[in-house]
């Protein structure tokens, strides 16, 4: 009996423990559900706050976009135009209806003509029509508006017949005439502003376009023969197949015979400068050691033509560059900026200066306005000689002037 009771107590204790665990589990589940509910509500509130913030930002963006000076001006002008039409049209209708009821369409027709012509000006600006078309439409629009304004003014003065004082009637007439003319004028000014705004939308691009046009004009004026040849190439080629710059490069080569910006005079001046530099470098390299070696070689092997290499070596004069008509001129490398071979040129005799050539150079200096204007190029062109001989003639005439 005692064992049964003991077993019963254990069963009751186990059931009580099971009930306690079940209650704790259910309490834990309820707490977890309440926590999840709170988190969901918190997330919903955050989502609602985010949505409200996004809507506020969207409204602010729309408001900012709508209230820009450009939009306010465009929409405000249209609003004023609508008000002017509403104020002027009834007076037009009443004026003509008072004459006869069948004249009712005249008022809207006159008022509408002014607005249709004003819209035509905007359409002409959009399509880039000739200027005379725009001014014709403007004249028609303002003529219709002026006619309607005169009718409204007369209608305002006629209000004295309905008990309005003369002063107030005149004010009414002036007001009706002002709004009748003001509507088309406001619309026209609006169109001018929009057209100017479109043309100056990209000032950097506009400045570049102006600079390019100025460059093309100056280049065509400076090199007219090349510009004419460029136009021939562009007209001869199929439309759009030849770029203007490519046509200019080809035209320059056809006319000048050289790449762009290079001419025969430029090449001649370059060769003259290279010859002068070669002569100066040759003179600068005559160090005492070099002269001693040249004298030693002359003593051992003898002079190489002329009246002795040692004399030429000791003269101390520049010996680079061409000599005369019978000697070697500028070598192939010398013409390209390379120093000519002076191993034989330094010992060759120089052609004596002719008195006739000197006299010709003196006359050339007189024609140019002084010996300082003499150059190897113009002396060479006047005499028809090599560059080295021209340099000697120029230096001789300059020396005479100094003496």
107 and 189 share one domain: yes
In this structure, the number of other CB atoms found within 10 A of the CB of residue 289 comes to 8
Contact 153, 177 (CB under 8 A): yes
Using 50, 70 and 90 to split pLDDT, how confident is the model at 293?
low
pLDDT for res 305: 39
pLDDT for res 403: 63
Domain count, the chain: 5
| Residue among 168, 114, 172 at smallest CA distance from 143 | 114
pLDDT for res 272: 83
Average pLDDT over residues 335-340: 41
pLDDT for res 218: 92
pLDDT for res 366: 79
- Alpha-carbon torsion (215, 217, 219, 222), positive or negative: negative
pLDDT for res 248: 92
112 and 171 share one domain: yes
Instruction: Pick from 6-20, 45-59, 293-307, 313-327 the range whose average pLDDT is largest.
Output: 45-59
What are 351's two structure tokens? 């052609």
90 and 106 share one domain: yes
Average pLDDT over residues 107-135: 84
136 and 237 share one domain: no
Average pLDDT over residues 314-335: 39
* Domain encompassing residue 393: 353-403
184 and 233 share one domain: no
pLDDT, one tens digit per residue, over 158-204 is 888 878 888 888 888 888 888 888 888 888 887 777 777 766 556 67
Count each helix (H run) and each strand (E run) in the chain, helices first: 15, 0
What CA dihedral angle connects 277, 282, 284 and 285, to 10 degrees?
A: 140
59 and 155 share one domain: no
| Residue among 395, 329, 321 at smallest CA distance from 358 | 395
Q: Is 31 exposed, middle or buried (0-12, 13-18, 19+ CB in 10 A)?
A: exposed
In this structure, the number of other CB atoms found within 10 A of the CB of residue 201 comes to 9
pLDDT for res 224: 92
The residue among 63, 84, 109 that closes a domain is 63
For the chain, how long is the longest CA-to-CA vector?
165
- Mean pLDDT over each residue of the chain, to the nearest integer: 77
131 and 74 share one domain: yes
Residue 331 above 50 pLDDT?
no
147 and 179 share one domain: yes
The pTM of the full predicted model, rounded to 2 decimals, is 0.40
pLDDT for res 332: 36
Q: What's the CA gap between 67 and 394, in Å, rounded? A: 79
Residue 276 above 90 pLDDT?
no
Q: What's the CA gap between 318 and 321, in Å, rounded? A: 9
376 and 337 share one domain: no
Contact 110, 103 (CB under 8 A): no
Residue 252 above 90 pLDDT?
yes
Question: Percentage of residues in the chain with pLDDT exceeding 70?
Answer: 79
The residue among 332, 351, 370 that closes a domain is 351
183 and 77 share one domain: yes
Average pLDDT over residues 297-325: 44
The residue among 315, 332, 351 that closes a domain is 351
311 and 381 share one domain: no
115 and 148 share one domain: yes
| Residue among 370, 377, 378 at smallest CA distance from 400 | 370
Least confidently predicted of 145-159, 226-240, 319-333: 319-333
Residue with tokens 């070598």, as numbered in its chain:
331
């Amino acid at each position: 009996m005692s064992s049964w009771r003991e077993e019963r107590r254990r069963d009751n204790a186990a059931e009580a423990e099971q009930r306690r665990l079940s209650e704790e589990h259910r309490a834990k589940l309820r707490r977890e559900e309440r926590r999840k509910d709170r988190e969901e509500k918190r997330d919903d509130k955050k989502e609602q706050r985010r949505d409200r913030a996004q809507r506020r930002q969207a409204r602010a963006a729309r408001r900012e976009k709508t209230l820009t000076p450009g939009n306010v001006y465009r929409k405000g002008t249209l609003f004023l135009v609508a008000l002017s039409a509403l104020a002027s049209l009834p007076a037009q209708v009443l004026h003509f209806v008072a004459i006869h009821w069948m004249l009712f369409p005249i008022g809207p027709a006159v008022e509408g003509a002014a607005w249709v012509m004003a819209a035509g000006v905007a359409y002409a600006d959009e399509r880039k029509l000739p200027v005379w078309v725009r001014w014709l439409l403007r004249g028609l629009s303002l003529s219709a508006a002026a006619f309607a304004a005169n009718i409204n003014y007369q209608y305002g003065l006629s209000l004295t017949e309905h008990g309005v004082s003369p002063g107030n009637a005149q004010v009414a007439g002036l007001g009706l005439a002002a709004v009748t003319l003001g509507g088309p004028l406001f619309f026209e000014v609006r169109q001018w502003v929009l057209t100017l705004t479109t043309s100056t939308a990209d000032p950097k691009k506009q400045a570049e376009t102006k600079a390019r046009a100025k460059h093309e004009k100056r280049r065509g004026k400076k090199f007219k023969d090349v510009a004419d040849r460029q136009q021939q190439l562009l007209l001869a080629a199929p439309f759009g197949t030849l770029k203007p710059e490519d046509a200019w490069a080809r035209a320059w080569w056809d006319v000048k015979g050289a790449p762009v910006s290079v001419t025969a005079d430029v090449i001649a001046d370059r060769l003259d400068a290279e010859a002068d530099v070669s002569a100066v470098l040759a003179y600068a390299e005559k160090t005492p050691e070099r002269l001693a070696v040249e004298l030693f070689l002359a003593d051992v092997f003898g002079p190489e033509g002329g009246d002795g290499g040692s004399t030429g070596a000791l003269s101390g004069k520049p010996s680079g560059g061409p000599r005369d008509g019978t000697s070697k001129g500028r070598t192939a490398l010398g013409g390209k900026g390379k120093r000519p071979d002076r191993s034989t040129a330094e010992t060759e005799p120089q052609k004596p200066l002719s008195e006739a050539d000197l006299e010709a150079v003196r006359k050339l200096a007189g024609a140019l306005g002084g010996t300082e204007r003499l150059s190897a190029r113009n002396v060479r062109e006047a005499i028809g000689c090599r560059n080295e001989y021209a340099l000697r003639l120029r230096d001789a005439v300059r020396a005479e002037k100094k003496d």
